[in-house]
Amino acid sequence: MTAPEHVPVLLDRIVELFTPVFADRDGVLVDATVGLGGHSDALLEAFPRLRLVALDRDPAALEKSAERLARHGDRVDLVHTVYDGLPEALESVGLRKADGILFDLGVSSMQLDRAERGFAYSKDSPLDMRMDPTTGFTAADVLNTYTPGELIRILRDYGEERFAQRIVKAVVAARAKEPFTNSGRLVELLYDAVPAATRRTGGHPAKRTFQALRIEVNGELEVLRRAMPAALGALKTGARIVVESYQSLEDRLVKQALAELAKSRTPEGLPVELPGHGPEFKLLTRGAEKAGEEEIERNPRAASVRLRAAERIGEPR
């Protein structure tokens, strides 16, 4: 079983959204970010005829979820891939389309809780932040080798950090004396670089910089830009997609991708929908849904979640 601190976010709501698709019938669900398997385990339990294709870029997460989901036997296929590889993952297990797709974006509980992964600014650890630690460059590589201009862009675009220029000036001066290796030194620098008034009211001064570095290291926004059309294109008519985002940049991309395909292309003023011009998707949520106070109290990581869902109602354009 998974570690006891792992609590799936908005679990009841996700089961509710998939019930019209999977209740009392065969179906294929892709969990594009299986993590420790909490959502998948509950969905397999709720829908006994469900087949799961579970993806994750983190080999350690796949190993843990394999243990948790083993009781469901051959109803589960696990695939080591980044979620923009969803169509290829389906093909690898003999499938072309899915009846449901779930994305639980961002960093997982296990990645946050393991200090050696370098995601949490509350613990001194190596500046790694790779979701797949077997490949790619680390957060330390970014801090030590990127030009000042590149670092400012990352902090502004991915961290929405208004003190990006001030922070980068301090980083460049510090790395000239000694390259960055651990998070503790970076956190100290951020405490000094972010004005005291902002520290008192704007949350932890490292939060935005750590988010920006993590997004850059893992290419999260670029991957999501590719993954959304790939996932939407892999859904059958009547199939549903549910996406949980934890920061505004992700949520914006998801919102735009769903809204674009939920629009009619029939010119305004015509009395009937032109064939082939109707919306491909129907939105199932009014805006982004949030966790309630009770869930946030039980699970603080639910505080920033934004859930969006949609159902395919028409053939791809």
Give strand ranges (E) for the chain. Answer: 27-31, 50-56, 76-80, 98-104, 235-245, 281-283, 306-312
Was 83 annotated as part of a binding site? yes
Q: Tell whether 37 is in a known binding site.
A: yes
- Residue 111 labelled as part of a binding site: yes
Cβ atoms 54, 70 nearer than 8 A: no
User: 141, exposed or middle or buried, with CB in 10 Å at 0-12, 13-18, 19+?
Assistant: middle
Distance from the Cα of residue 30 to its chain's centroid: 14
Pairing between β-strand 98-104 and β-strand 27-31 as defined by DSSP bridges = parallel
Closest by CA position to 259, among listed 235, 240, 279: 279
- Tell whether residue 204 is among the known ligand binding residues: no
Residue 243: count of CB within 10 angstroms of its CB: 29
- Which contiguous run of DSSP H or E holds residue 42? helix 38-46
Q: Is 132 annotated as a binding residue?
A: no
Residues in the annotated binding site for S-adenosyl-L-methionine: 37-39, 56, 83, 104, 111
* Residue ranges of the binding site: 37-39, 56, 83, 104, 111
